[in-house]
Structure 1
């Protein structure tokens, strides 16, 4: 692949990310994506196949970035949930993109299913529970990391505290809740990483 081709694809992915975050899959316009990427509309079809395929490529690329920023820690789901929370603070559009996906594309791709099953199996193995309990723990940790962003500000900050302080308090609650949930599901306290001392 030529350098120009790689650069064009990168611009298309970035422009598509902004378009899909703002308008979802159904509302996104290929001509707008091409214009904002300074590319020909036909390049989208040549590189990605269709608007749906472009959406999938954008989501996959952003999830790879998220995975790099928040490595999965099956032994410490609370820390993982806290790291996800921080990642969503840094890039709230990623969560919005995944919400569009949930609304507009029913089900999960084979890659999504395999990823979640692999993580749930890691949780099950580490905590010595069955796969169903591993999946429950994983799903609850993921949901806890997202709930701040899916709740209107007037509800999540009912006393009108400083938003940053309130968000930090909520993050602590997420970590504590996932720690308690892990202990409840596994029947024993969550394994904590060894720290130097």
Structure 2
């Protein structure tokens, strides 16, 4: 049977995603990732160089998937926040992965910095404002979209209320809040 390096690499990325979500970078174990893949432990080092580089590859891959699922709309940050909210609530592990990254490696990577700067510039261009105003509005949208997922279920649903109905109401509130806050930060998008 022919060896498929692309398939092995994809299995390692997927197995590492689960491991990093559950244990973070420091707690993740290469042995468990290899076993879950299933792949030879040495393949991790051959493809990625180190556990840290594997973490970076996993984060980049997941953010790329997110970007494909949720197109960026610089002229409609409220709609973007709503779509992000949906993606985050459908895959809360992505938020867990980024929280581990923030805890264990708080400095932004070049990829993160470039991604945020490009989006902030797109917002600034769409609204005819400076980069700082674009970044402020972008951070409002990103923060609001994550709030539901980052709040423990026991807090966000303290009673016997229907979680699905509350999720719908929360999404509507996220969109409305981002719309109101960005209207204060930005002039209307140029047509």
- Looking at structure 1, the residues matched to 154 and 33 of structure 2 have their Cα atoms a distance apart, in angstroms, of 34
Q: Secondary structure at the match of 1:179?
A: helix
Deviation at 1:5, TM superposition (A): 0.6
Query: Which residue does 2:58 correspond to in 1?
Result: 58
- Looking at structure 2, the residues matched to 79 and 9 of structure 1 have their Cα atoms a distance apart, in angstroms, of 34
Aligned residues of 1:82 and 1:171 also touching (Cα < 8 A): yes
Deviations 1:101-144 (A, max 9, x none): 00111211111101100100110111111111100000010000
Q: For residues 20-35 of structure 1, what are the structure 2 equivalents within 5 Å?
A: 20-35=20-35
Aligned residues of 2:59 and 2:97 also touching (Cα < 8 A): yes
Q: Secondary structure at the match of 2:149?
A: coil
- Looking at structure 2, the residues matched to 22 and 49 of structure 1 have their Cα atoms a distance apart, in angstroms, of 22
Deviation at 1:158, TM superposition (A): 4.0
Structure 1 segments of 4 or more deviating over 4 A? 190-193
Q: Secondary structure at the match of 2:4?
A: helix
* Structure 1, unpaired ranges of 5+: none
Question: What is the TM-score normalised by the length of structure 2?
Answer: 0.95
* Structure 2, unpaired ranges of 5+: none
Aligned residues of 2:78 and 2:176 also touching (Cα < 8 A): yes
RMSD: 1.6
Question: What is the TM-score normalised by the length of structure 1?
Answer: 0.92
How many correspondences in the alignment?
A: 190
Q: For residues 1-197 of structure 1, what are the structure 2 equivalents within 5 Å?
A: 4-186=4-186, 188=187, 190-191=188-189
Aligned residues of 1:76 and 1:192 also touching (Cα < 8 A): no
- Looking at structure 2, the residues matched to 15 and 160 of structure 1 have their Cα atoms a distance apart, in angstroms, of 35
Deviation at 1:37, TM superposition (A): 0.8
Deviation at 1:90, TM superposition (A): 1.6
Aligned residues of 2:75 and 2:127 also touching (Cα < 8 A): yes
